[in-house]
Each structure stands twice: as structure tokens, then as C-alpha cells.
Structure 1
Amino acid sequence: MIDKTTLWIVIAGLGIGSFFLRFVFTGLVGNRAMPEWLLRHLRYTAVAVLPALVAPQVIWPNATGGETDTARLAAAVVTLAVGILTKSVIGAILSGAATLFGLLYLLG
């Protein structure tokens, strides 16, 4: 178990670091126009972050001890297909969740 003092020092340090990282963009650069090349790259940040968070849980899920699982792969494929075809985030999430829970129920 971690010491409470060490835990609070780490939490405070991460909070201060996160504040200053955001302050650079909003406080220091907020009133100035950003270059077009930077704005173009920032547009893709959310699109890149979500797959980076989801991919390890599909390929090496903790629930199966790190073994690739058919239900999770199928749910990822269905989510991607529904998202591309319908352009609906909610529809993609709901169809992926239904696929995952349905296959987990059917496959045991």
C-alpha cells in the first residue's frame, strides 16, 4: 500500500502539471490565432485517442487473461462498421455493446 503523503504529493503534482499543460494553450496562446498546420493536426486528436484507448482492450483484454476473444473482436468490428455506415456515435456504441453482451451471453 502506498503512503498517504506520497499519494497526495503525486495527486497534487499531476494536478499542477495538468493545469500548466492546459494553461499553455488557453492562457498563453488563447488570444492569438494558431497556425493552420497546428489546427489541422489538432482536429485528429480525438479520432486518434479513442482507438488508442480501445485497441488494447480488444486485442489483449484483462477479462480473458490477455487472450484475444471472439466476442470482443466481433463487437469492435460491428462498432466500426456501424460507425462508418451511419456516422452515428450513439448507434455505433449501442450496437457494439449489444454485440459484446450478446456474444458473451451466447458463448458463455
Structure 2
Amino acid sequence: MPLAPGRLLLNPERVKTVPSCFDSWDVRFAPPPVLPPDYLLYMTSAWVSMNVLMVDEHRVVVEAGEIPLIEFLQDWGFEVLPVNFRNVIRFGGCFHCVTSDIRRRGDLQSYF
């Protein structure tokens, strides 16, 4: 999950090697999700915790119960906006999946 220019968040269970195109990026692995093992998820995994929404290069919307991820992102320098969304994620998505950009400000940029 690219979070900001030069910052990449990876799932430690799914990504074992970082592609060389990210050599100059600050690449970090997300902490494990906090969903209990018996939490019913229909169309996703507990790693939906990484499905955050970047408001801009500094602010990120995160599920409010994901305290380790919130602290991780704050330590990385992001301003975290926690929002309760636990009952929605069981159906297959979190903030990034359930939003749709209709308008963006700024110039189109390539980070590679």
C-alpha cells in the first residue's frame, strides 16, 4: 500500500521480497491486525486492517480498533484519523475500498 511519496506499507505475510523499483523508498511492514480469530469475515482477511485511506500525504484514516497500526503510523510521522468501521469490514473492505475519488487537487505525479 503506497501511503505517500516514497513511503510503502507492506503485508509481512504476503510480501517476502520488495521489488527493486522501491529501493529508494521507506518501506515498512505493517503490524499484525488485532481482529480476534473468531471475528466473522465474509469476503476478506484480517489484513483488511491495512486498507487505509490517505487523505493527503500526511493524514490517514484507520479503523479505530487497530491500535498497533495507529501507533505504528503515528511513529512513522503520519497524523492518524481513527474511525470506527469494524462492522463494515466484515463484508469485504475498509476505507480505501469503500471510497471513490471524484475530484483531486494538485498535479499528476509519477513517483518512479
TM bracket (short chain): under 0.3
TM-score w.r.t. structure 1 length? Answer: 0.24
Q: Radius of gyration: which is bigger?
A: 1
TM-score normalised over the length of structure 2: 0.23
Report 1 or 2 for greater relative contact order, CA contacts < 8 Å, sequence distance ≥ 6.
2
The structure whose residues are more often helix, as a share, is 1
